[in-house]
Amino acid sequence: MIDPHVHLRDWNQNHKETLKHGLYVAFKAGLDAVFEMPNTDPALTNKNKIIERIKLADKIIDQLGLKIFHGLYAGITVDPKQIEEIVEVYHKLFPRVVGLKMFAGHSTGNMGIVNEKDQKLIYKTLLDLGYRGVLAVHCEKESYIDQKLWNPVNPYSHTMTRPPKAEVESVKDQIRFADEFSYKGTLHILHISVPKALEEIERARNHVSYKISCGLTLHHALLNNEMMQGQNGYLLKMNPPLRSKDMQEYMFNSLLKGRIDWIETDHAPHTLKEKKEKYMSGIPALPYYPYFVRILRNNGASNDLIDKITHNNIIRTFGMQPDIIPNSRRADMQDKKVSFSLAKEYEFDAFRQIVYNNKENFLKSH
């Protein structure tokens, strides 16, 4: 089982999370592989930092004796020379460098490429360089984001600063730009959360020449924005934000129907102090991977669907050989206490209210 979207921090952010701890938690959660995002500090946007990161991960995996695969995305900037270097790194280090990542809107870190002209340049440059791998995109259109609406006293207001339209319009942009510049790889839409965005992707699949995939997070499948109205609503602040209950249920059911390619945690730890005082966006989610797989089973997901959305679709989309990451299915075999104990590895538990309100949903099939 593979989580193709995690943030493992470390380096200048080792107070939030470390490679050692994150890989340990991922392995304990039953995962066979994780693919790490590049918005570390410093960022994974050049050859030297990427090689340094891979060596560090290898050392940790060897020290801990973990049987887990560590991959990472190389970060894209607006500099064509940087893109050329990073594509060369991808070709030399694949499958450890699994693909490229673009932030089409600002999020945690400072890697946003929000200008349409710059985004088009990315696709043109990738075409010129003959890139055929995965380009994973954080889709939120900056012109529809209004930070003036954010009110720390009312954490729910975060859902209004980054409305559904910001995601939908960004998805439409990326589909259009990739088509305009005859992109040859796979466009992957990260953490999709809006039904209309999914519908745009499905429509595009019928007429574009490139491949499109999308992933759904555990939080966008299980949590909704009503939960941010409580006393600790700031704990559920993330980008893109939680959506309405009807949207959340639509996305969950779409996953069960095979309309979404895979699940991804977007594991993004911060300290409790950072959540309380700086209102950082992101939550620790790795501990709940086995819990979510169990929920899927309890809601009718077949063995075949589970295999597709936790492993097979990911291997196929990234163009990996199947034997590189064997599917142990360990996350589907965990003892019932695993998720609850793993959650204690972090200072706060964003899933606590749904887990403890629905404990029987997790336990009934054990």
- Note the pLDDT tens digit of each residue in 286-304: 999 999 999 999 999 999 9
φ and ψ at 299, to 5 degrees? Answer: -105, 20
Question: 2-6 and 33-36 as β-strands: parallel, antiparallel, unpaired?
Answer: parallel
8/118 Cα distance (integer angstroms):
28
Residue 363 has pLDDT above 50, yes or no: no
Q: How many residues does the chain have?
A: 366
Q: What percent of the chain has pLDDT over 90?
A: 90
pLDDT bin (cut points 50, 70, 90) of residue 341 is confident
86/45 Cα distance (integer angstroms):
7
Q: Per the structure block, which two tokens stand in for 48?
A: 């030297």
Q: What is the mean pLDDT of the chain?
A: 94
Taking the CA atoms of 34, 193, 197 and 259 in sequence, report the sign of the dihedral they define. positive
Q: What pTM did the predictor assign?
A: 0.95
pLDDT of 336 reads 65
Three-class DSSP category at 188: strand
- Torsion from C-alpha of 108, 15, 159, 134, nearest 10 degrees: 40
Q: Per the structure block, which two tokens stand in for 133?
A: 């791998």
Could you tell me the CA-to-CA distances from 85 to 46, 90, 125 in Å, in that order? 7, 9, 12
Residue 136 has pLDDT above 50, yes or no: yes
220/283 Cα distance (integer angstroms):
12
DSSP 71: E
What residues contact 305, with CB distance under 8 A and at least 6 apart? 256, 258, 296
9 closest CA partner among 34, 42, 31, 32: 42
Class level of CATH domain 2-363 = alpha beta
pLDDT of 47 reads 98
86/72 Cα distance (integer angstroms):
12
Residue 108 has pLDDT above 70, yes or no: no
152/325 Cα distance (integer angstroms):
43
